[in-house]
Amino acid sequence: MPTTRRGGHQARTMRALLLVAALAALATALAVSGSPVGTFYTTFKIPPDVQPGQELKSEPQELEGRLWQLKVYPRGYRTASKAGFASAYLQLHESSGEGSGEAGSSCTSSFAIALLEDGSDEAAEHKSCDEHDFNNVPRWGFMKFVEEEYFTEPQLGCVSETDGSVRLRVAVGRPGDAPAVTAAAAGSSAQGGTFSSAQHVSKQQRAAAAQARRDRAEVLEAAFGEPVGLENQGNTCYMNSLLQTAFNVPRLRGAVLSAPKAGGALGGLQRVFEDLRAGYGAGSTRPLTAAMGIDPRYQQDAQEFGRFLFMSLLEAGDEVVTEAVETTFSGYLENYMDCINVPFSRNRPEPFYDLSVEVEGLRNLKESLDQFTTPEELTGDNRWRTEPHGLQDARKGVRFISFPPFIQFHLKRFRYDMNTGDMGKVNSRFEFPETLDVSPWVSEPGGEACSNPAAAPLNYSLSAVLMHVGGVSSGHYYAYIRPPHKSQWYLVDDDRVTPVTAKAVLQDAYGGGQRRGVGGLLGGLLGRKRGGQGTGASAYMLQYVRDDSVPARSKAPEP
């Protein structure tokens, strides 16, 4: 059909409008995909006597037609000050009016804040928010931005040693640009960030960064407040008890808390330790069970979980955490075979992270260590066949070469019953001291008694007792802990924490059928039996700390 003049004009107008709309949509798409990310830097001089809740604020900075202001609280805002964290917030400055100036208009943005290393544009720590409407709430940020030591301790590498100042970088963009905003604040070139110096870091810079990390870890080893509990997810009492004893080790605590944010077991443990250090209330182990693939509905053996956890930490590949595990928990023993009648022997040193010692038929830890190091004589039909000397009478055994700063003893409370064909619990009384000198069990490699005067005595103090009440197929774990810098003991039973005396700890932990303490109550509920076999409460793991490896303890009287 032929088109009229008027109809042709309308068609051309419609095509023009459609073309304009398409161009506008294309321009919008291009603007969104390539929209700029604004950044600004600001420096705060931290007063030496900065107080909890004290606010420091930057000069207003203009980005994309709006004024922004950064506010920091070096000693924390509100509850963060009690937990040892600094706070940081981005605020839409009042001079910007209501967003773009139009009533009801939106000012929804993504933003990120980074704390920079002293004298560098490298980000030591950063946090980001993918989307926030600043018209609705003009100030938004992070109550727990970083540990407050980042703002107060020059040895961590962020506070200037010359004037005590810190420098921060802020990036702001549209919600769809959140990855680029985070990258710009963090300094990553992967998302089009402002710089990347990873390829140009010298050996000296890497060494300096590693030392700064160790310095930060040392700061985070410092004493914390009153212990808090951990929520039980269903059957995670074994995990809660083991984690409480691990958190009670300053070197491990500092290494884990100072680690860069990560996934896996290290990241999950870091989040648990952050909860325990914050002290708000009972912490959660969900990040750790999720990271390690643990089903919280099923109970596990506490000692086996501890070995699994430490193996996972070593596999994480973090240098400082690996150093902490190996230098804190690793000792050395030597497996040996010595011929009795000819001068021939074979020795094999190996590290240990915990020691499993016998309980059944023994009265105390000293007898267990004596038995552990008593050699077996190989004679008669059991003689040792050696290549140079043929069959020889020999002694086969284990001797300790060195003990670590923290010793973990696993008490063998479960055994196989040959008569019934079942596993049973050994609940006979087994004593252990509050202080332990291990020098009688230390030998030089090759079997000579340790002759170094500086190495003797090797005095240790009890710092944690992991308890088990119940039988083989069911039961409950809880722990007694004494922070190394304190004399006060605490009963930690999942989310409940109670101060107790050292006497109460030993009465409950020795086993043997007594119905004292929390173990007596739980044992009764679980059908506890008197005597050497049963379901009673008793120590399952012991943790000792070498006296010269921790600060002096306070001498507060026991309640």
Helix, strand or coil, per DSSP, at residue 6: helix
- Tell the burial category of 348 from Cβ atoms under 10 Å away from its Cβ (0-12, 13-18, 19+): exposed
Phi, psi of 462 (to 5 degrees): -65, 130
Q: Which of 354, 451, 371, 328 is nearest to 408 (CA)?
A: 354
At 276, the amino acid letter reads L
Q: Which of 93, 410, 468, 476 is catalytic?
A: 476
Catalytic residue check, 476: yes
Catalytic residue check, 237: yes
Q: Which of 246, 250, 245 is nearest to 219 (CA)?
A: 250
Q: Are 363 and 355 in contact (CB under 8 A)?
A: no
- Tell the burial category of 226 from Cβ atoms under 10 Å away from its Cβ (0-12, 13-18, 19+): exposed
Q: Are 438 and 372 in contact (CB under 8 A)?
A: no
Tokens at residue 233, please? Answer: 């997810």
Distance between CA atoms of 122 and 111, rounded to whole angstroms?
A: 18
Distance between CA atoms of 181 and 108, rounded to whole angstroms?
A: 14
Q: Which of 132, 237, 410, 468 is catalytic?
A: 237
Distance between CA atoms of 395 and 376, rounded to whole angstroms?
A: 6
Peptide bond just before 457 cis, omega within 30 deg: yes
Distance between CA atoms of 54 and 67, rounded to whole angstroms?
A: 23
The number of beta carbons lying within 10 Å of the beta carbon of residue 89 is 20
Coarse DSSP helix, strand, coil percentages of the chain, rounded to the nearest 5 percent? 35, 30, 35
Tokens at residue 195, please? Answer: 């710089």
Tokens at residue 271, please? Answer: 């989040």
First to last CA, the chain: 104
Where in the sequence numbering do the catalytic residues fall?
237, 476
